[in-house]
Structure 1
C-alpha cells in the first residue's frame, strides 16, 4: 500500500460524478488517455457526458420552466 501522502481521495456523488483529487490521467475504454491538472476532477459515471470520461453535468435532470411574466402577490 502506498504511503498516505501518495493516496488519492475519490468521492462518489450519489446520482452524479466521481470526484477525484487531481492531477489525474484517465484511460477510456477505447484506450485514449485524458489528462487533467485540476485539483479536483469530476469523472462521469453515467456516460451521458459529451466530454466523457470527464463530467459535463449531463446527468442532471433538465427541468423546463415556463415564465409567463406574471408574478403572484400574497
Structure 2
C-alpha cells in the first residue's frame, strides 16, 4: 500500500491559506512557483509583494494606545 497523497490545507480567517509542503503553485499565466518548506503560506489577500506566497501584508498595524491622561483631557474638553 502507498502513502496517503492527501495534503492538509488550512484557511486562516483574515490571513493566508496554509498548505502542507512541498508545493508547486501553478499561476494563471502558466508559470510556476515552488516551495520546499514543510508548511507554505499562500496569500489570499493579494497584498503580498512576494505573491503568491504570503509576506504577512494582511496584518494591520495596531493603533498606538492612548494614554489615560490623553483620554481624560479629551473627556474634559468635550
For this structure pair, what is the TM-score category when the shorter chain's length is used for normalisation? 0.7 to 0.9
* TM-score, with length taken from structure 2: 0.73
Which aligned segments of 4 or more residues in structure 1 are displaced greater than 4 angstroms? none
Distance in 2 (alpha carbons) for counterparts of 1:13 and 1:4: 27
Structure-1-length-normalised TM-score:
0.77
Structure 1: any 5+ residue segments left out of the alignment? Answer: 67-74
CA RMSD of aligned residues (A): 1.7
The unaligned stretches of length 5 or more in structure 2 are: 66-78
1:30 maps to what in 2?
29
| Equivalenced residues, count | 64
Provide the rounded CA distance (Å) in 1 between the counterparts of 2:27 and 2:47.
14
Higher-Rg structure is 2
Which has the larger share of helix?
A: 2
